[in-house]
Amino acid sequence: MNLTRYAARRLAVGVLQVAGVACLVFLMVESLPGDAAVVLAGDQPDPARIAAIRAALGLDRPLAERLTTWASALARGDFGTSLVSGRPVTGIVLDALAPTAVLAGLTALILVPLSVALGVAAARREGGRFDRALTTVSAALYAVPEFALAIVLVAVFGVTLAWLPPTGLGGLSAAALVLPVSVLLVRPLCSTGRLVRSAMIDVLASPYVRHARRLGLGWFAHALPNALAPAVQHLARTVDWLLGGVIVVEAVFVIPGLGSTLADAVGHRDLPVLQGLALLFAVTTVVVNLLADVVSFRWAPRA
């Protein structure tokens, strides 16, 4: 199969996935126990307000009609308006996008070269001191929840030593970014580093690399793409963690990004915002996975 056909097939699957997620999000909101309007109206709902919310949400119309209205508005790029602030969802999301993009982008920018370097360095001498240290530390830190790690780091570097600002409240300066990005890095770095290491060990032991080394050829440039193909796939999966991590890290460091917006929307049951964000996150996940599949197919065509 050539690259274009593979990419086209993956794209079709991706579009179906996004459509599926959109329906799923809609149905999840639909399956809210009782009536969404009653929940949204607050503790002591007054009938007029419930009726108003119901009309605003279009809850008085049949399910199929609501789904098509919602989907056609989505197709026009209209995500609806927030139930809490009355602002358009698109505006809310765009405002929150910048801090999250900085956090996630910076993390990814450091993550990729660092995890490859660590993995390759460990693989060069399997079972050596550096390899053992990396394997143990990465196994240890791999499953630590971000918030617990973040709090410990804040207590040490932000409060006791007072080297770094404990929150991002004073704006995202370079110093304020150090702790959040470090916390975000830990989990993906551990897993990707380990993966690169084991893939590199396998490739280094393969006949063609050993042969190239015996001949004194530049084997490294041949070994690396083959070792990185699984790592690229895995990096795509870490986007899932990165999004999860961003939600937690933004909450800990009080950064007004997508994660905080999501947490607020969940707290206020602001359904249109929730729907918009869920869709955005799902599309991001699907697109990144798609790109990763295509890249690793390009580097090491197999299927």
Partner 1 sequence: MGATRVRYLLLAVPLIVAVAGPLIPYELVRSASFADVGLLGTDFAGRDVWHQVLVGGRTLVLTALLATAGAYLLGTLWGLAAASAPRMLDEALMRPLDVLMAVPSLLLLLVVAALAPEGVLVWTVMLVHLPDIARLVRACALEAGSRPAVEAMRLQGEGWWRINVGFVARSMARVLATDAGSRLTGSLYLIAAASFLGVGVAPDADDWAVMVDRNRGGLFLNPWAVLAPSLMIVMLAVGLNLTVDRVLKRARHAPR
Residues forming the site for partner 1 (CB under 8 A): 13, 17-18, 20-21, 24-25, 28-29, 31-33, 136, 139-149, 151-152, 154-155, 159-160, 166, 239-240, 243-244, 247-248, 251-252, 262-263, 266-267, 269, 274, 277-278, 281-282, 285-286, 289
Q: How far is the CB of 88 from partner 1 (least distance, A)?
A: 21
For residue 280, which phi and psi values (nearest 5 degrees)? -60, -45
CB nearer to partner 1: pick between 223 and 246: 246
Q: How far is the CB of 151 from partner 1 (least distance, A)?
A: 5
Sequence-separated (6 or more) residues with CB below 8 Å from residue 214: none
CB nearer to partner 1: pick between 147 and 225: 147
Q: How far is the CB of 171 from partner 1 (least distance, A)?
A: 20
CB nearer to partner 1: pick between 218 and 267: 267
Give the C-alpha distances (Å, rounded to integers) separating 228 from 91, 139, 221, 296: 38, 20, 11, 8
Q: How far is the CB of 290 from partner 1 (least distance, A)?
A: 10
CB nearer to partner 1: pick between 171 and 267: 267
CB nearer to partner 1: pick between 7 and 151: 151
Sequence-separated (6 or more) residues with CB below 8 Å from residue 37: 50, 51, 53, 54, 57, 59
Under 8 Å between Cβ of 254 and 169? yes
Q: How far is the CB of 184 from partner 1 (least distance, A)?
A: 13
For the chain, first and last CA: distance in Å?
7
Would you give the DSSP letter of residue 175? H
CB nearer to partner 1: pick between 99 and 166: 166
CB nearer to partner 1: pick between 228 and 277: 277
Alpha helices in 142-253 (DSSP H): 146-153, 174-204, 207-214, 220-253
- CA 271 to the chain's CA centroid: 21
> With b meaning 16 or more CB within 10 Å and e meaning fewer, what string describes 63-95?
eeebeeebeeebeeeebbbbbbeeebbeebbee
Sequence-separated (6 or more) residues with CB below 8 Å from residue 58: 66, 69
Q: How far is the CB of 246 from partner 1 (least distance, A)?
A: 9
- What is the biggest distance separating any 2 CA atoms in the chain, rounded to whole angstroms? 84
Q: How far is the CB of 218 from partner 1 (least distance, A)?
A: 33
CB nearer to partner 1: pick between 152 and 205: 152
Q: How far is the CB of 179 from partner 1 (least distance, A)?
A: 13
Under 8 Å between Cβ of 175 and 165? yes
